[in-house]
Amino acid sequence: ELKVEQNPLFLSMQEGKNYTIYCNYSTTSDRLYWYRQDPGKSLESLFVLLSNGAVKQEGRLMASLDTKARLSTLHITAAVHDLSATYFCAVDVEYGNKLVFGAGTILRVKS
């Protein structure tokens, strides 16, 4: 059974600081997704990582994928309050049909 583990599950950080969220998974896959969810809202796609070594950046967020280590990271640079949300990683185990999600990381950026 595939397990996807995110850590930390809760992150409180000061504006301007850097931090990394980790996503480990237990089976072979080369497709991993990061989503953002605001309270009471749906999931918004942030990054699609489709191969080993993939790196994507958007604004203050950068995601990477190491399929050999079964690890993805979401790095936050110079955090701002607007980044406060819950971030999920999800591993695709059947070509778009089956996503297995991590439990999510609640990020709070304090000004």
Structural tokens at position 14: 């000061």
Q: Does 11 engage in binding with other proteins (CB under 8 A)?
A: no
Within 10 angstroms of residue 88's Cβ, the number of other Cβ atoms is 23
Q: Does 55 engage in binding with other proteins (CB under 8 A)?
A: no
Scanning 11-19, 21-29, 30-38, 61-69 for contacts with other proteins by CB under 8 A, the matching segment is 30-38
Residue indicated by tokens 């950046």: 57
Q: Does 102 engage in binding with other proteins (CB under 8 A)?
A: yes
Distances 83 to 12, 47, 60, 93, 101 between C-alpha atoms, Å: 11, 15, 9, 28, 20
Q: Does 39 engage in binding with other proteins (CB under 8 A)?
A: no
Q: Does 29 engage in binding with other proteins (CB under 8 A)?
A: no
Identity of residue 110: K
Q: Does 31 engage in binding with other proteins (CB under 8 A)?
A: yes
Contact 60, 45 (CB under 8 A): no
Residue indicated by tokens 């999920």: 88
Q: Does 111 engage in binding with other proteins (CB under 8 A)?
A: no
CB of 17 to other proteins, least distance (A): 25
Residues that bind other proteins (CB under 8 A): 4, 9, 31, 33, 35, 41-43, 45, 48, 50, 88, 90, 92, 95-104
